[in-house]
Amino acid sequence: MTGEQRRGGKATRNNRPSGTRGRGADSEFVNLELDKEQTAQYRQWREDVADVEQTWTEVAEAGYRVNTKFDDYNECCAAFIIPPDGSDNSGFLLTGRGGTPYRAVAEALFKHRFVLKEQWGSFAPQSNYRDDPDF
């Protein structure tokens, strides 16, 4: 359950912070929103299906899992990159969203490779919700 759900509000693109980490059962969700420039770069990159496929293959070969599902709450497809135990990214789940499963996966892969440089722990959220007792 997300903080928005606990507070009874629905997260929308307009009221979400530009980057947040949500707490899962054993992992933190890295919900990084791309800025305008990153979005333009991502859209150009995803058109090269061979490059997206190569990145996806490298991620899989490194032991990561990529899961997809339809996200009813946000009315889009969601992708989750799950690192192998013991990796530098253990304890985190990287998310991507899109109008199709391909776009959701491509967005998550773009964040992994180009935005976070494969080091998800370096992502600093805009606010520290752990300091908020009402979260």
One-letter identity of residue 113: R
Q: Is residue 132 part of a domain?
A: no
Mean pLDDT of the 93-97 span: 95
Cα-to-chain-centroid distance, residue 123: 11
CB 111 within 8 A of CB 32: yes
Q: Is residue 47 part of a domain?
A: yes
Q: Which helix (H) or strand (E) holds 41?
A: helix 36-46
Q: Is residue 1 part of a domain?
A: no
Q: Is residue 77 part of a domain?
A: yes
Q: Is residue 95 part of a domain?
A: yes
Cα–Cα dist 107/45, whole Å: 10
Record the pTM: 0.74
Mean pLDDT of the 91-118 span: 96
Residue 50: give its domain's CATH number.
3.30.160
Q: Specify the long-range contacts of residues 16-22, CB closer than 8 Å, at least 24 apart.
A: 17/125, 17/126, 17/127, 18/126, 19/123, 19/124, 19/125, 19/126, 20/125, 20/126, 20/127, 20/129, 21/123, 21/125, 21/129
**Phi then psi dihedrals of residue 19, to 5 deg:** -160, 130
Q: Tell me the per-residue pLDDT of 28-68, one tens digit each, with 9 for 90 and over.
A: 899 899 999 999 999 999 999 999 999 999 999 999 999 99
Q: Is residue 3 part of a domain?
A: no
Q: Is residue 88 part of a domain?
A: yes
32: nearest Cα among 72, 80, 70, 73: 80
What is the domain count for the chain? 1
Which domain covers residue 75, as residue numbers? 27-121
Q: Is residue 13 part of a domain?
A: no
